[in-house]
Amino acid sequence: MRKASSDSGSEYIATGVVIIIYSVLLLSSSVNAVSNYNSLVQKIWGLSKIFGSRALVLNVKDYGAVGDGVQDDTQVLEDVWNMACSSKVESRIIIPVTSYCLVGPISFGGPCHSKVTLTISGAIVAPSSPDDWNGSNTQKWLYFHNVDRLTVEGRGMIDGMGHEWWARSCKINPENPCRHAPTAITFHRCNNLVVKNLLIVNGQKMQAAFTTCDGVKVSHLSVFAPGGSPNTDGIHISASTNVRVEDSTVRTGDDCISIVSNSSKVQVRRIACGPGHGISIGSLGKSGTCDQVYDVSVRGAFLSNTENGLRIKTWQGGSGFVRNVKFEDVWMENVSNPIIIDQYYCDSKKQCPNKTEAINVHDISFVNVKGTVATKEAIIFACSDVIPCEGLYLEDVELVSASDDIATSFCWDALGSSSGTVYPPACFSTSGSLINETILSNISHIQDV
Ligand SMILES: *[C@@H]1O[C@H](CO)[C@@H](O)[C@H](O)[C@H]1NC(C)=O
Ligand SMILES: *[C@@H]1O[C@H](CO)[C@@H](O)[C@H](O)[C@H]1NC(C)=O
Ligand SMILES: *[C@@H]1O[C@H](CO)[C@@H](O)[C@H](O)[C@H]1NC(C)=O
Ligand SMILES: *[C@@H]1O[C@H](CO)[C@@H](O)[C@H](O)[C@H]1NC(C)=O
Ligand SMILES: *[C@@H]1O[C@H](CO)[C@@H](O)[C@H](O)[C@H]1NC(C)=O
């Protein structure tokens, strides 16, 4: 469905320019034409670059986008995407500063011929009512998939208009039927992806999801949804590897950052979070799945008024592991459950039955984590009876009550060690084989990925 010749117009113009320049240069150097041949080629090549023949620029306004936030621009964005994606030269789609493009669900599919950049300087906005979705797929709103070398940037805004979706959620009103709300922006199988300088507001459910991607760099992203909005994870990383999220702010109703499924080599740097549910690994192992999460490093985070701080949550009955996770340089302000590993996670109305399988959680460290706590239990390690947590490590942890209470630690089948000041004091098991594990597993296992 792509228009293969869509970029030929600009290529012709560029070629014409190059031919004219070539003629001028040829005339001016007629005598020593041969000896000057090499430098001539270089000049032409340089000029063609200056004239920009190497990139196709597509301003949505030029292709019929109304951009008034009222009339539907879905078709225009689809068409422009198809032109960009099939372009033989690198392309840039521009939503200019004055354009406010109302669009329904869109699939931005690859593979694309060349690198594509989507520059959102204006806004992309969703229909305000779920009724306007006309029964179309409600799992995803903006869906980028199978694209290599995509950049999304532009200092503009993506507005999911989530309020009506939240009002109809069964989590907000139990009388409502439970049904899916869409993820605002999904990147699936996108490799070498860059997302930067963007504002995402009021996504209907998850705000930005990265699934099965290899090579993702997110920076200067702001994600804002109300603290009471249901299931609105800010940055969701699933089955992805080589992911770096830095210099970003998330205020939302669910996890600020969630890392799930088989994800690895995830680096999080300088993140502000709150309100929200903190930085979470999991939930993992639901319905007996095998999940393997490893090499996760969070360095530099400010969490304020969040419902959890640094959390690992697994369901009973799953298999796989979480290993080599390091949280460091984290400042907390009035956070509930600042440090928590919960292997009895159960997000259902019925009590979950105890199972004999569990995800193996080991080599997890918390270094230089300080601040104030809203709950009494500042450190909770509720680990599996079947496979205890091993290699837990606390160093320079100081969590004091925000309300003059005494902060405490809770340990269940948790093996580990600590150094430096640790308050509330660590409560690791020190009996039998547990001591062995404690000594063997220490910080040297955990490298900065
Ligand atoms: C839904 O259908 C109405 C009427 O057919 C149309 O005007 C509107 O653009 C559609 N909305 C979406 C998001 O497709
Ligand atoms: C994770 O990887 C393991 C091992 O490759 C595989 O068995 C499992 O199915 C994967 N899990 C998911 C949820 O994809
Ligand atoms: C601290 O957090 C608790 C629990 O979320 C909340 O009730 C309280 O208002 C917060 N205090 C401040 C000073 O924000
Ligand atoms: C499951 O195990 C935990 C810890 O051993 C115990 O406290 C809890 O009562 C058990 N739950 C059920 C439903 O058996
Ligand atoms: C404890 O350590 C000793 C010596 O390192 C080793 O021989 C023994 O097998 C360990 N025991 C357990 C239960 O791991």
Give the model's pLDDT for residue 1. 38
Give the model's pLDDT for residue 136. 73
- Same domain flag for 25 and 90: no
Give the model's pLDDT for residue 449. 34
Give the model's pLDDT for residue 429. 80
Residue 351 Cβ contacting ligand 4 at under 6 Å: yes
Residue 7 has pLDDT above 70, yes or no: no
Q: For residue 135, how far is its CA from the centre of ligand 1 (angstroms)? A: 10
Report if residue 381 sits inside a domain: yes
Burial per residue of 23-32, b for 16 or more beta-carbon CB atoms within 10 angstroms, e otherwise: eebeeebeee
- Same domain flag for 33 and 101: no
Of 210, 243, 263, the residue at which a domain comes to its end is 210
Instruction: Give the residue among 90, 88, 60, 89 at the shortest CA–CA distance from 75.
Output: 60
Mean pLDDT across the chain, nearest whole number? 88
Give the model's pLDDT for residue 430. 60
**Ligand whose nearest atom lies closest to the CA of 435:** 5
What global pTM score does this model have? 0.84
Task: Give the range among 16-20, 68-72, 266-270, 313-317 with minimum mean pLDDT.
Answer: 16-20
The percent of residues in the chain predicted with pLDDT above 70, rounded, is 84
pLDDT in tens, 61-115: 999 999 999 999 999 999 999 999 999 999 999 999 999 999 999 999 999 999 9
Number of domains in the chain: 3
The H or E element spanning position 12 is helix 8-28
Q: What is the mean pLDDT of residues 129-142?
A: 86
Domain enclosing residue 23, as ranges: 7-51
- Same domain flag for 302 and 194: no
pLDDT in tens, 13-38: 444 444 444 444 444 444 444 444 44
Of 17, 36, 51, the residue at which a domain comes to its end is 51
Q: For residue 324, how far is its CA from the centre of ligand 2 (angstroms)? A: 18
Instruction: Print the SS3 string covering 127-143.
Output: CCCHHHHCCCCCCEEEE
Query: Within a 10 A sphere around the Cβ of 17, how many other Cβ atoms?
Result: 16
Mutate to test the pocket of ligand 4, among 344, 354, 383, 413 (most ligand atoms within 8 A of CB): 354
Residues flanking ligand 2, CB < 6 Å: 239, 261-262, 289-292
Choice among 73, 233, 254, 413 that is catalytic: 254
Task: Give the range among 44-58, 187-201, 305-319 with minimum mean pLDDT.
Answer: 44-58
Give the model's pLDDT for residue 202. 98
Report if residue 114 sits inside a domain: yes
If one compares 44 and 414, the residue with the highest pLDDT of the two is 414
Q: For residue 354, how far is its CA from the centre of ligand 4 (angstroms)? A: 6
If one compares 247 and 40, the residue with the highest pLDDT of the two is 247
Residue 3 has pLDDT above 50, yes or no: no
Residues flanking ligand 3, CB < 6 Å: 305, 334, 336, 374, 402
Is the dihedral angle over the CA atoms 201, 204, 206, 212 positive or is it negative? negative
**Ligand whose nearest atom lies closest to the CA of 334:** 3
Report if residue 409 sits inside a domain: yes
Of 190, 210, 230, the residue at which a domain comes to its end is 210
pLDDT in tens, 332-361: 999 999 999 999 999 888 899 999 999 999
**Ligand whose nearest atom lies closest to the CA of 132:** 1
List Cα–Cα distances, 198 to 38, 118, 120, 274, 351, in angstroms: 44, 11, 8, 18, 41
> Catalytic site residue 277?
yes
- Same domain flag for 91 and 45: no
> Catalytic site residue 188?
no
Nearest CA to ligand 5 atom 2: 436
Residue 436 has pLDDT above 90, yes or no: no
Give the position, in ligand 5's atom list, of the atom nearest the Cα of 440.
5
Report if residue 374 sits inside a domain: yes
Whether a cis peptide bond, with omega within 30° of 0, leads into 174 is no
Residue 186: give its domain's CATH number. Answer: 2.160.20.10
- Same domain flag for 17 and 137: no
Give the model's pLDDT for residue 52. 52
Q: What is the mean pLDDT of residues 181-187?
A: 97
Give the model's pLDDT for residue 329. 98
- Same domain flag for 99 and 202: yes
Report if residue 157 sits inside a domain: yes
- Same domain flag for 424 and 280: yes
- Same domain flag for 28 and 105: no
